[in-house]
Structure formats: structure tokens, C-alpha cells
Structure 1
Amino acid sequence: MRRTERSAFTPEERKAAMWALLIAGLIAAFALVLQQWTQPSLGPWGADQAAASIPGVLDAQPVTTSF
């Protein structure tokens, strides 16, 4: 039995849209997992150098102004 009401999209278009959403979701999930496995490179300020202090930074004081 065929429906008499018309819809905005054909069944093939709805099926293609669902596949596109599924594939986009899988790509996004894979990107999130991949991002957790690979951390960005911070160069010389990476994890190995995180504890090293930069000269003069610990002694820095805020600038005060007098009015």
C-alpha cells in the first residue's frame, strides 16, 4: 500500500542522510580518541621541561601604579 501524503524527502534521500550522519559521527568519535592518544608537541616546554623554572618568573611582581 502506498502512502498518499507527500514528504519533503524520498526514502532514498532519508537513507543517504542517515548514512551521512552515521559516518560523520564515527569520524568525530575517531578524532576524539585519536586526540587523546596524541598530545600536541610543546617543543622545549613539553612535559619533560614542565618542572623547569624560567629565570625571573618566580620573582615577578605585579606592576603597581600610584594615582
Structure 2
Amino acid sequence: MRRTERGAFTPEERKAALWALLVAGVIAFAALMIQQWTQPSLGPWGADQAAVSMPGVLEAQPVASGL
């Protein structure tokens, strides 16, 4: 039975939307896989600097309020 009323989207538009979702899913999956293989950049505080403690940080105490 053929519908007499038209849908909101043409078959070509539905096909394009499906392809767009598929491509977006593949890109997201690839980004997740790449993220698993790479480490985040820590800049100057990277792996070489991670073990170095900053002077005065371990002994730091909160400032007492005068209230």
C-alpha cells in the first residue's frame, strides 16, 4: 500500500543523513582508539619533570584567617 502523504524528508536526504551518522561514528571510534595509544601532553610537567618536587609545596600550610 502506498502512502498518500509525503514524509518530511526525501529518500536521498535520509540516505545522506545515514551516511553522515556513519562517518561521524567512524571518526569518533578512530579518535577513541588513537587516544588510547597516545599519552596526554603535560607540557613542561611531563614524564621527566613528574618526579621533581617543587620546593615548599610539601610543607605548604593554609593561611590562617584573622577572623
TM over 0.5: yes
Please show how residues 1-67 of structure 1 align to structure 2 within 5 Å. 2-67=2-67
TM-score normalized by structure 2?
0.81
Aligned pair count reads 67
* Residue aligned with 1:20, SS: helix
- Which portions of structure 1, spanning 4 or more consecutive aligned residues, are displaced by more than 6 angstroms? none
| Structure richer in helix, relative to its length | 1
Percent identical among aligned pairs is 78
Unaligned runs of 5+ in 1: none
Read off the aligned partner of 2:21 and give its amino acid letter.
L
- Unaligned 5+ segments in structure 2 are none
CA-CA distance at 1:5 after TM superposition: 2.2
> 1:2-43: CA deviations, max 9, x gaps?
432210111111011001011011111111211222223223
User: What's the RMSD between the two structures over aligned residues?
Assistant: 1.6
TM-score (norm 1): 0.81
